[in-house]
């Protein structure tokens, strides 16, 4: 048998095994999870003490959509999420009469989700 004919036979047999009428199952699964990516926001006093019950506000600078959350018992909020993406989001915190200076986060998006840059923000309330 010529070399070319032998290659044709081998390729033909390979195709037969690939076409066996079995159902095709995608074992990779959906690589995009439904859970929204969130930003970790810590709120601290002027002395660096974490603040429970502070209000965190985030506003997308282009769409003007906003999210408000409250810090938990360890001074952290994860209420700000990728639903504000893409683009820049301005954040600040308040607790009573204390307010933090605003800071910005940039949301960088791929095919599935948007990631905050930076992924953690610390907002310090004024003295």
Q: Which residues of the chain have pLDDT under 70?
A: 1-30
Q: Which helix (H) or strand (E) holds 53?
A: none
> Tokens at residue 101, please?
């200076």
Considering the entire predicted model, what is its pTM?
0.74
Per-residue confidence (pLDDT) for residue 4, from 0 to 100: 52
SS3 18: helix
Q: Write the CA distances from 20 to 5, 8, 9, integer angstroms.
A: 23, 19, 17
Per-residue confidence (pLDDT) for residue 3, from 0 to 100: 56
Contact between 87 and 115 under an 8 Å Cβ cutoff? The reply is: no
Per-residue confidence (pLDDT) for residue 21, from 0 to 100: 44
The parent domain of residue 98 ranges over 40-124
Q: What are phi and psi of 4, to 5 degrees?
A: -65, -40
Say which residues have a Cβ less than 8 Å from residue 80's Cβ, sequence separation at least 6: 38, 39, 41, 56, 58, 67, 69, 89, 91, 105, 116
Query: What is the tally of structural domains in the chain?
Result: 1
Per-residue confidence (pLDDT) for residue 57, from 0 to 100: 98
In a domain, 103, yes or no: yes
In a domain, 29, yes or no: no
At 37-65, the pLDDT tens digits run 999 999 999 999 999 999 999 999 999 99
Compute the distance between CA of residue 81 and CA of residue 107 in angstroms, rounded to an integer: 10
Residue 63: give its domain's CATH number. Answer: 2.60.40.1120
Per-residue confidence (pLDDT) for residue 31, from 0 to 100: 74
In a domain, 66, yes or no: yes
């Amino acid at each position: 048998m010529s070399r070319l004919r032998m290659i044709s036979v081998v390729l033909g047999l390979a195709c037969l095994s690939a076409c066996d009428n079995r159902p095709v199952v995608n074992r990779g699964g959906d690589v995009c999870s439904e859970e929204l990516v969130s930003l970790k926001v810590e709120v601290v006093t002027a002395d660096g003490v974490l603040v429970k019950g502070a209000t965190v506000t985030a506003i997308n600078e282009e769409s003007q959509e906003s999210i408000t959350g409250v810090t938990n018992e360890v001074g952290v909020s994860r209420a700000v999420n990728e639903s504000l993406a893409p683009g820049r989001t301005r954040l600040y915190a308040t607790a009573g009469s204390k307010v933090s200076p605003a800071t910005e986060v940039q949301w960088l998006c791929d095919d599935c989700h948007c990631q905050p840059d930076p992924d953690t923000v610390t907002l310090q309330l004024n003295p």
